[in-house]
Amino acid sequence: MIMSEELKKPTKKELYARAKNDPDLKGFTMKKKWILYCLKLSKGLVSVACENAGLSRRAFYDWYSKMVKGVPNPSYDEAFHDMVEEIRMVTHEYVESKLLQNIDRNDEKAIEYYLSNNYKEKYTSVNQKVDVTTKGESLNKGFYDFLKEVSQDDDE
């Protein structure tokens, strides 16, 4: 079966040309355009973007990080940093839209996740912490022995 032009995976050369002409990336050197474009394609995953762009993570973070080991970074590029954050925000919004689609389909786990992360004071079932103590007894006991002791304590 012959694939249509739309379904063919673009070549690296075609992707490079897209990066070069991406209107969001005007003003960047071609090397930075390429890594930023790869970052867009990887939905903000730095390791994947760097691997696809043929750039080290260290080079990426040299441009991204304002401080290195507590001192100002001379390679820091504020516009690069801001574009990385913009790409991450787009990814965040994409993921959030997928979560909301699952909520629209009544996916209980999606609903619980959303509520527990956005209304923590009211919906804490996922994040509740239970204090379990052995009252100084060894944890090496068999599980059933432990349950038996605990149930006897409840009877008292």
- Tally the residues of the chain: 156
Whether the pLDDT of residue 136 is over 90: the answer is: no
147, part of any domain: no
Higher pLDDT, 147 or 15: 15
Confidence (pTM): 0.69
148, part of any domain: no
10 Å CB burial of residue 116 (0-12, 13-18, 19+) is middle
Higher pLDDT, 156 or 49: 49
117, part of any domain: yes
2, part of any domain: no
Mean local confidence (pLDDT), 27-47: 97
106, part of any domain: yes
Confidence band for 76, pLDDT divided at 50, 70 and 90? very high
Whether the pLDDT of residue 122 is over 90: the answer is: no
| CA–CA distance, 91 with 132 (Å, rounded to integer) | 39
7, part of any domain: no
**Range of the structural domain that residue 82 is part of:** 12-125
Whether the pLDDT of residue 63 is over 80: the answer is: yes
92, part of any domain: yes
| CA–CA distance, 147 with 154 (Å, rounded to integer) | 11
Number of structural domains (the chain) is: 1
135, part of any domain: no
- The contacts of residue 84 (CB under 8 Å, 6+ apart) are 36, 39, 64
Backbone angles phi, psi at 71, to 5 degrees: -120, 150
